[in-house]
Structure 1
């Protein structure tokens, strides 16, 4: 009976790989479908009222994120990550990809605090996913290009989402009656976003995808706040960008000196070495 467990487990993992790939691809389809029903609700409601809202061009990063995730997980479906925790990762990313569509549907109903909750769950799961990919990279047995592509894609996803969820909180507060032109409380939101960005930069060991998305978000906030004549908040966002960039560079230099490269190894999973 025990001998049947391994094949059954491999079969279940293989099925989960294709489920994750399909759900990843669904993120390319659902936004235009939902907007064809509800209109361009993301630009017409409280979501864009805060002065710390990123400049409009920045949201195009969703297209890159969803496309890269689709390519990554089609690759994973074909080749697998072959790590002892792969099933866990596949379940978590499947929830994240489903959450993306759920977040759009909830936001379309103007249930902004619920949309924040959905987004927060996605961020928590992505943090664990990146923990596995970055801190346990030596357990991944797949082609180097696929491991790096998957890590970068999900790093971008976490980077943008971890800052965007803070902007969603600002939108929910405005929808609840807070003044969209008041600087003080939005400065607090920006400080929280900065601390999140710095903390996760350290946690994911300055993963390039994560850092790139966070910098993209903060630079867009710099421009968005400037367009809204909120110069102090624009300067604060610029400072946040510099802090994240310096932290990432320091971590990269330190890891280079110690010879630690979190996603550069290609070892087989523990206990599955080639003979």
Structure 2
């Protein structure tokens, strides 16, 4: 397990460096092209969450390297986390090249790996023998990562469709994408027993979409995103009550 702990630390640090490298080579590509044309693109401030997530990942990786998780499935979790961290850098690289359908595929892999990590941390929490604070740190870190990513993958789908020729000003199809994102978020909320970190990531994304849609004068989509956020809050509260 120790080799994978070291690998995780290196890859966690790479997430801090990759945005600087890609920005130096490709500029601020996230603010131009189809990536920023969809009506359901989150408001610009929302992307600051990436800094929080990557810093938390680095802190979690260092803590796991020092203390370990103390479970039979630690290696499986570390491999999944390594896939996610590599995926982040790959996503930045392909997005900078405007290969938007590839970004969707990369995000889908990341979401799958993050979902498996969270299932282990939430549903097999009793297997862990690490300090309780480390369990909490890992659950919040990967929950926040999954929450944001599970909505971002749908935003990437919207950008890819626009890049393929679909109208960026048509609200109907973007509403369908937004509803699908919300339904997926509710499913994961229930599956993960209303984990606060996951809910926080989803709500950050949905509120930012609300602000972004309103700023593009799309009232219907702004209201849809706001309602979706309220549904996620209700699903989180209900799931935590019955779990």
Same fold (TM over 0.5): yes
TM-score, length of structure 1 as denominator length:
0.87
Aligned counterparts of 1:24 and 1:156: Cα–Cα separation in 2 = 15
Which residue matches 1:118? Answer: 106
Aligned counterparts of 1:62 and 1:117: Cα–Cα separation in 2 = 19
Which residue matches 2:11? Answer: 23
Aligned counterparts of 1:207 and 1:229: Cα–Cα separation in 2 = 33
Q: Return the offset for 1:254.
A: 1.9
Q: Return the offset for 1:203.
A: 1.1
Residue 41 of structure 1, aligned match among 18, 29, 38? 29
Which residue matches 2:127? Answer: 139
Q: Return the offset for 1:212.
A: 0.4
Aligned counterparts of 1:181 and 1:131: Cα–Cα separation in 2 = 38
Which residue matches 1:73? Answer: 61
Q: Are 1:218 and 2:206 an aligned pair? A: yes
TM-score, length of structure 2 as denominator length:
0.99
CA-based RMSD of the aligned residues comes to 0.6
Which residue matches 1:258? Answer: none
Residue 174 of structure 1, aligned match among 149, 162, 169? 162
Aligned counterparts of 1:175 and 1:231: Cα–Cα separation in 2 = 23
Number of corresponding residues = 243
**Stretches of structure 2 lacking an aligned partner (at least 5 in a row):** none
Q: Deviations over 1:110-139 (max 9, x none)?
A: 110011101100000111010101000000
Q: Return the offset for 1:44.
A: 1.3
Q: Deviations over 1:218-248 (max 9, x none)?
A: 0111110000000001000011000000010
Give the SS at the match of 1:128.
helix
The structure that has the greater radius of gyration is 1
Which aligned runs of 4 or more in structure 1 are off by greater than 4 angstroms?
none
